Structure 1
């Protein structure tokens, strides 16, 4: 397991190579990489600043990862989430799951992203031509996370 919260960018190819190196029992890896968009809510976005609460953020990400492992037979999980000022096209998040079976990899990766969007303590401030605005929680994100209720 690797959970990293960092300001620095990451190399998706290098992270994937390290994640899969020597893993002969893995039958599938599912991966998601999130990027900053230049449009949000129909408005232009020139930058996004992600804030978090150090220590608490990592603990919550670990709890989400533990829940994924409880639900699916995973060989490994990787979560990298950036903070700080990011511009359109910058990478924000990478989630990868490895399992002997593709369904477990696919489902757990989607679960992790759905729960990260709603349960991880990150706050987003968007810079727009009209000024800065805090990003509010979206009903669609809550609905996506709710589908995983047991």
Structure 2
């Protein structure tokens, strides 16, 4: 957390240049952009892990089938009957490998999904503090629970800003 402290201080000092309802809205906008960027990066990481898992499953299946292949080929060369259970072992390893490979293949396809930036939802979320700031001065909202919720929201933002700037 100490690594990000100077960046957070700079961020909140820059936000101080703007009047209050716009500060909260800009804070929310930056938070949404950061979360969307993290989602994009994590999507790529999960896709990479899926592809890596597919390669590791292929390698593991080959590694587990190698002793069976060597024993079977030796028995065929010596014109002996194969060991009992060899076919079951072969099918079991292939079935487990196939199902695990399919799981990692589905995981790797997460990367291919297109996630669009939620423009309408972002505009709605960013405009709520601005509208709430100006609506709370109406006599109807001043003594109502809605007015206290609005005040609590802005107080929480101010406390977060104070926490970052004071420490």
Fold-level similarity (TM above 0.5): no
Structure with the bigger RCO (C-alpha within 8 Å, sep 6+) is: 2
Please give the TM-score of this superposition, normalised by the length of structure 1: 0.25
Please give the TM-score of this superposition, normalised by the length of structure 2: 0.23
Bigger proportion of residues as strand: 1
